[in-house]
Amino acid sequence: MNDKNKKFVPIIIYIITMGIGNYINSNILSKNRTDFEILVVSFIIQLIGALAIVYIVKKYYGWRNIGFSKINFKSIIWFIPYLILITLILTDFFKYIYTTSESFTNIMWAKLGINFIATLLVGFCEEVIFRGILLTKVNSKDNILKLMILSTFWFSIIHVVNIFMGMPLGAVFAQMIYSGLLGFSFVSLAIKLNNLWPIIAFHSLWNFVGVSSVLVGYKSLNISSLILVLNIIVGTILWISIIKQEKNKTISINETRKLT
């Protein structure tokens, strides 16, 4: 298999696993099943997808090569707005959980626990694929900007699998745009930070609150809408910075070639 084509193997496997698995769970196994049983099946599907991604990374790439190197603390300032935002949302969410926990059943606590692990797996898998593998240069001719565009595009497209879960087409389209903006920012953050763990943490916790809100009847803070604005601002600044760096590298390489 061509090295470049290997980049698309994790995407294809993940789409097939999530698409078929969620379709079966939502449209076939959901009959005569409780919400808890459906959630457990969804978790198993996600676990299978995660194990497949781990296998592919270990066999073809290696963790350090796809974004798990030493973090660039000089660029952590760009992640601070996301850290503040998720801290405020988590504080309000857990405050709500604390004040309403007396009414929670054991099943509800189990749902929250399973949902936490499942969203962690989703955040991990999607970041490894789209901000890790897809940003990996196969050879010196690979242009980082093209890889960034590829990453952003595919991260948006991947959310089309939600159609198989019964989500309306309009809602899926809106989520694709929302995810595209998130990917636009996160792909540049991944490059600047040189490490995926901060992004995985934010991605997972954001999803956890979003999905758990439906389970417990929590209404998220209005500040959560700031994520869209934040993605545009941070993404634009970092993309411009990366573009400038790439141009300077190209100029430097061309000058070196002229001298030789």
> Which residue ranges make up each domain of the chain?
3-259
Crossing angle (nearest 10°) for helices 169-193 and 106-130: 60
b/e 171-208 (16+ beta carbons within 10 angstroms → b): ebeeebeebbbbbbbbbbbbbbbebbebbbbbbbbbbb
DSSP line for 140-171:
TT--HHHHHHHHHHHHHHGGGGGGGGT--HHH
Residue 191 CA to residue 131 CA, distance in Å, equals 8
Which sign does the torsion angle of CA 6, 198, 115, 231 carry? negative
- Return the H-helix or E-strand segment holding 90: helix 80-100
Residue 216 CA to residue 205 CA, distance in Å, equals 16
pLDDT given at position 2: 52
pTM: 0.88
pLDDT given at position 30: 62
* One pLDDT digit (tens) per residue for the chain, 260 residues: 555 566 677 777 777 777 777 777 666 666 667 778 878 888 888 898 899 889 888 888 889 989 899 999 999 999 999 999 999 999 999 999 999 999 999 999 999 999 999 999 999 999 999 999 988 876 556 788 989 998 999 899 888 777 766 678 888 888 888 889 999 999 999 999 999 999 999 999 999 998 899 899 998 777 767 888 999 999 999 999 999 988 887 666 555 555 55
Whole-angstrom distance between the N-terminal and C-terminal Cα of the chain?
A: 36
Cβ proximity of 2 and 139 under 8 Å: no
